[in-house]
C-alpha cells in the first residue's frame, strides 16, 4: 500500500520531477549561487507545485508553470539578507579545463570569481535571462513562453543584461 | 540608443540562427556605424566568455536522491498535518472534559466557573478568527508567494 501520496498521482509527479529536476536545480543555482540553497529551493518549489497540482493546466509545459513558483522562492531568498552567500556556482567547461598551464589555470579561476560577482551584481530580471539563455541553453521561444513575453523583448532584455554584465566585469577587472 | 532591428539581427547572428539575407543586412549595419560595431564586438566577447563556463554540476548522488528528498518532505508534511489534527482533537476533547467536570463541580467557586467559561469562549473566538483569516488570505491574496 502506498503511504502518504496516492500512487497514480505520485508516479506522474515523480516522472515530472525527474524530467525537470536538473533544469530546476541549475535555474535555482543561477539565482542564489549556492548548492545547498539551490537544492532546497528547487525541491521546495516541487513540493509547492505538488500541493497546487490541481491548478496546473496539463496542456501547458510543466516547467513553464513550475518556473514561476521557483522564481518567487529564489527572489524571496535573495531578498532575505540574513542568508549567507556562497558565491561558487560557476566552473569552466571540460575543454577549457584541459589546460596544463598553471598561470592559465589561475587566470581562469580568477575569471570565474569575477564573473560570479558580476552575475550576482545583476538585477533579478537580468540574471534570470542570462541563466535561461547562456547557462540553461533555452531557445528564445522557450524563454518567451517561460517569461510570458514576446521573443523581441527576450532578445532586447538579453542584450541589455549582457551589456550590464560587461560593465560589471569592466569595473571588477 | 540601439535600435530593435539591430538587437534582433545581432542575437540571431550570435546564435547562428540568421538567414543569408539577414546576415547581409546585419553586416551592412556594422560597416556603416562604428558604435554598432563596438556594441557587437563587446556582446560577442561576453558571449564567448560565458560559453566557456557552465553552472557547477553537483555529485551524482544529488540526482539519485533528488526525488526521494521531495517524496520524504511531502510525506512528512502530510504526517505533521495528521499529527496536528489528532493533537487538536485530543486536546480539544481533554479540555472539554476538564472544563465540563469543573463547571459541574458543586464545590468550585462560581467566579472561577465564570472565568473558565470566558477563557474557553475567548479561545474559541480567537481560533475562529485565525482560521477565517487564513482561509480568506489563501483565497484572495494574489501575492501570497511573495514575502513581504
**Which ipTM score applies to this complex?**
0.81
Q: How many domains does chain B have?
A: 2
Residues from chain A that touch B51, judged by Cβ atoms under 8 A, are 134
**Comparing C-alpha atoms, which of B7, B47, B58 is closest to residue A135?**
B47
* pLDDT tens by residue, A138-160: 999 999 999 999 999 999 999 99
* pLDDT tens by residue, B14-65: 999 999 999 999 999 999 999 999 999 999 999 999 998 999 999 999 999 9
Contact across the interface for B62 and A163, Cβ inside 8 Å: no
Domain of B126 in residue numbering reads as: 109-142
> How far off is chain A from B99, nearest CA to CA, in Å?
36
Contact across the interface for A93 and B54, Cβ inside 8 Å: yes
- Structural domain contains residue B79: no
- Structural domain contains residue B91: no
Spell out the domains of chain A, with CATH numbers in brackets: 1-89 (1.10.1740.10), 92-173 (1.10.10.10)
Average pLDDT, chain B: 89
> How far off is chain B from A148, nearest CA to CA, in Å?
18
Residues from chain B that touch A165, judged by Cβ atoms under 8 A, are 46
Closest chain B residue to A34, measured at CA: B56
* pLDDT tens by residue, B11-23: 999 999 999 999 9
Does the beta carbon of B89 lie under 8 angstroms from any beta carbon of chain A?
no
Closest chain B residue to A96, measured at CA: B52
Pairing of strands B53-55, A90-92: antiparallel
What does the block give as the cell for B64?
A: 539519485
> How far off is chain A from B39, nearest CA to CA, in Å?
8
> How far off is chain B from A59, nearest CA to CA, in Å?
23
Stretch B115-133: mean pLDDT: 92
Q: What is the DSSP string of B69-117?
A: HHHHHHHHHHHHHHHHHHHHHHHHHHHHHHHHHHHH-TTS-HHHHHHHH
Question: Is residue A47 within 8 Å of residue B75, measured between CB atoms?
Answer: no
Contact across the interface for A162 and B145, Cβ inside 8 Å: no
Amino acid at each position: 500500500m502506498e503511504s502518504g501520496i496516492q500512487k497514480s498521482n505520485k508516479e506522474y509527479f515523480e516522472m515530472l520531477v525527474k524530467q525537470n529536476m536538473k533544469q530546476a536545480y541549475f535555474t535555482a543555482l543561477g539565482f542564489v549561487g549556492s548548492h545547498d540553497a539551490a537544492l532546497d529551493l528547487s525541491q521546495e518549489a516541487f513540493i509547492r507545485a505538488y500541493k497546487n497540482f490541481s491548478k496546473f493546466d496539463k496542456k501547458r509545459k510543466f516547467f513553464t508553470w513550475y518556473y514561476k513558483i521557483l522564481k518567487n522562492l529564489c527572489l524571496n531568498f535573495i531578498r532575505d539578507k540574513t542568508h549567507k552567500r556562497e558565491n561558487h556556482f560557476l566552473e569552466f567547461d571540460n575543454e577549457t579545463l584541459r589546460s596544463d598551464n598553471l598561470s592559465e589555470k589561475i587566470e581562469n579561476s580568477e575569471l570565474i570569481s569575477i564573473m560570479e560577482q558580476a552575475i550576482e551584481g545583476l538585477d533579478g530580471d537580468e540574471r534570470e535571462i542570462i541563466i535561461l539563455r547562456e547557462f540553461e541553453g533555452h531557445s528564445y521561444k522557450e524563454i518567451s513562453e517561460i517569461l510570458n513575453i514576446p521573443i523581441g523583448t527576450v532578445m532586447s532584455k538579453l542584450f541589455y543584461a549582457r551589456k550590464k554584465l560587461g560593465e560589471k566585469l569592466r569595473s571588477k577587472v | 540608443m540601439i535600435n530593435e532591428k539591430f538587437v534582433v539581427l545581432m542575437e540571431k547572428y550570435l546564435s547562428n540562427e540568421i538567414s543569408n539575407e539577414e546576415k547581409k543586412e546585419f553586416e551592412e549595419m556594422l560597416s556603416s556605424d562604428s558604435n554598432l560595431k563596438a556594441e557587437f564586438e563587446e556582446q560577442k566577447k561576453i558571449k564567448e566568455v560565458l560559453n566557456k563556463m557552465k553552472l557547477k554540476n553537483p555529485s551524482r548522488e544529488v540526482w539519485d536522491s533528488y526525488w526521494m528528498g521531495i517524496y520524504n518532505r511531502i510525506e512528512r508534511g502530510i504526517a505533521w498535518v495528521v499529527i496536528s489534527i489528532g493533537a487538536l482533537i485530543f486536546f480539544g476533547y481533554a479540555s472539554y472534559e476538564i472544563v465540563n467536570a469543573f463547571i459541574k463541580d458543586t464545590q468550585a467557586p462560581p467566579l472561577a466557573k465564570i472565568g473558565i467559561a470566558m477563557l474557553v469562549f475567548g479561545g474559541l473566538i480567537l481560533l475562529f478568527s485565525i482560521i477565517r483569516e487564513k482561509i480568506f488570505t489563501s483565497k484572495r491574496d494574489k501575492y501570497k508567494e511573495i514575502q513581504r
